[in-house]
Amino acid sequence: MYYGFDVGGTKIEFGAFDEKLERQATERVPTPGDDYQKLIEILAELVAKYDEQFYCEGTVGIGIPGIEKAEDGTVLTVNVPAAKGQTLRADLEAKIGRKVALNNDANCFALSEAWDEELQDESVVLGLILGTGFGGGIVIDGSVVSGKNNVAGELGHIRMPIDAWLQLGDNAPIFDCGCEKKGCIDNYLSGRGFEMLYTHFNGENKKAIEIITAFYDGEETATKFVDNYLEMLAMVFGGLFTGIDPDVVVLGGGLSNFEHIYEEMPKRVPKYLLSIANPPKIIKAKHGDSGGVRGAAFLNIKR
């Protein structure tokens, strides 16, 4: 069995998957604040419980909103205080007596989609999250690409490319980023960035869903804003697709539900690619909120 944990700020979701990658068990428990030992105990107890239920020693994978530091295995995370600065993977391995795989939740999202039956034959799958932030994950031949420092796929912290910056016009805002840099695409392409840009240019606070509704209603301000955003999105996508050259791109996060994106990107992206390149398929994620725990479980699968 493949066990996956999606460790979030308020809850831990557990999932057990069989050899056909079909889910056989689900359990959710609260994340224990800043009590690290309690966190380890909860994870170990769930592993033991389902080992007994399934008469096996399942493989264990963990997805977390953070990054494991390559040098010493400590976890950099803001949303899970109990795990911050701790060697979570190594400590759980010592507790349960087996190997544990750990990766960023955006990578788990991408891996979950890449192992969907319809995408398993695709060599390079790029997962992009248009949510509270802009995140990503790169999966090649069924395995996450983490890189030397475990930051591969942190595409939200690439700076805005010059053509996308110029698309914003003379009054372009320079947004500070949580990574302590300025101008990261996270603050422009995410659902949060979508709202921030609208406020900056139109002087009115609106939720993304309100802007999108106004767009579909033909409201002039919303229509102009959405057109500008989509062109900027296509410019950034063009650069990412040139560097990664994926077979398929899967979009997740709240803004990925904006259907107009899928109509416009195939028309807008090609002019920002090399002349010999064709754009990848761009599709909506299938597994939604369950993607984190699925992807965590699949960290131990090899094609």
Measured distance CA(1)–CA(62) in Å, rounded: 15
Task: Kindly tell me if the per-residue pLDDT of 250 is higher than 90.
Answer: yes
Q: Is 139 one of the annotated binding-site residues? A: yes
**Residue 121 confidence (pLDDT):** 94
The answer on 226 and 164 residing in a single domain is yes
Kindly state whether residue 115 falls inside one of the protein's structural domains.
no
pLDDT of residue 22: 95
Q: Check: CB of residue 127 under 8 Å from CB of residue 136.
A: yes
Burial status of residue 145 (CB atoms within 10 A of its CB: 0-12, 13-18, 19 or more): middle
Q: ∠234-237-238 over CA atoms, to 5°?
A: 85
Compute the average pLDDT of residues 107-120: 95
Rg of the chain taking only CA atoms, in angstroms? 20
- What pLDDT shows up at residue 178? 82
Distances in whole angstroms, Cα of residue 148 to Cα of each of 70, 71, 138, 144, 280:
7, 10, 14, 13, 26
Say if residues 164 and 236 touch (Cβ distance below 8 Å).
yes
What pLDDT score was predicted for residue 132? 87
Residue 252 is assigned to a ligand binding site:
no
What count of other Cβ atoms lies within 10 Å of the Cβ of residue 14? 23
Residue-level pLDDT at 184: 94
- Residue-level pLDDT at 18: 96
From 104, 115, 106, select the one nearest 140 (Cα to Cα).
115
What SS3 state is found at 86?
Answer: coil
4 is in an annotated binding site: yes
Paired tokens of 152: 């591969």
- Cα 14 to chain centroid, rounded: 18
**Domain-located, residue 116:** no
* 77 appears as a binding residue in the annotation: no
194 CB-near residues (< 8 Å, 6+ apart): 208, 211, 229, 255
270 — pLDDT class (breaks 50, 70, 90) = very high
60 and 150 co-located in one domain = no
Rounded percentage of the chain residues whose pLDDT exceeds 90: 92
Domain encompassing residue 189: 121-285
pLDDT beyond 90 at 288: no
**138 marked as binding residue:** yes
Whether 144 and 165 share a structural domain:
yes
Task: Average the pLDDT over 19-45 and give the result.
Answer: 95
Considering the domain boundaries, does residue 186 fall inside one?
yes
Q: Kindly state whether residues 48 and 65 are assigned to the same domain.
A: yes
Same domain for 98 and 155: no
Q: So what's the pLDDT on residue 177?
A: 86
- CA 65 to chain centroid, in Å, comes to 9
pLDDT tier at 78, thresholds 50, 70, 90: confident
Query: Nearest to residue 280, comparing CAs of 254, 301, 300, 251?
Result: 251
- CATH number (domain holding residue 17): 3.30.420.40
177 in a labelled binding site: yes
Annotation-wise, does 140 bind a ligand? yes
Co-location of 129 and 215 in the same domain: yes
Buried b (16+ CB within 10 A) or exposed e, 237-270: bbbbbeebebebbbbbbbbbbbeebeebbeebbb
Q: Does 13 reside within a domain?
A: yes
Q: Is 6 a known ligand-binding residue?
A: yes
Whether 303 shows a pLDDT value over 80: the answer reads no
Give residue 207's pLDDT.
Answer: 97
Q: Is 282 annotated as a binding residue?
A: no
Residue showing tokens 């725990």: 293
Residue 11 annotated as part of some ligand binding site: yes
Does residue 169 sit in the same domain as residue 242? yes
Q: Does the structure show a pLDDT above 80 at 98?
A: yes
Q: Is 269 annotated as a binding residue?
A: no
Pairing mode of beta strands 134-140, 124-130: antiparallel
Same-domain pairing of 127 and 236: yes
CA distance 259 to 58: 39
Residues 68 and 205 occupy one common structural domain: no
Residue with tokens 């809850």: 11
Domain count within the chain: 2
Residue 132 inside a domain? The answer is: yes
137 is in an annotated binding site: yes
Enumerate the H helices of 75-219 as residue ranges: 88-96, 105-114, 162-167, 186-189, 191-202, 208-216
Given a cut of 90, whether residue 36 has pLDDT beyond it is: yes
Tokens, residue 253: 């996060």
59, 126: one domain: no
Flag whether 157 is marked binding. yes
Average of per-residue pLDDT across 21-41: 95
Residue 25: inside a domain = yes
Mean pLDDT across the stretch 3-30?
95
Q: What is the rounded average pLDDT of the residues 94-113?
A: 96
**Residue 95, marked binder:** no
The helix, strand and coil proportions of the chain, stated in percent and rounded to the nearest 5, come to: 45, 20, 35
Whether 133 has a binding-site annotation, put simply, is yes
Residue 176 marked in a binding site: no
Indicate the residue type of 179: C
Q: Is residue 139 part of a domain?
A: yes
Q: Are 191 and 52 found together in one domain?
A: no
Whether the CB-CB separation of 250 and 126 falls below 8 Å is answered with: yes
pLDDT number for residue 302: 85
One domain, residues 142 and 277? yes
Domain assignment present for 167: yes
* pLDDT-based confidence at residue 290 (cuts at 50, 70, 90): confident
What is the percent of the chain where pLDDT is above 70? 100
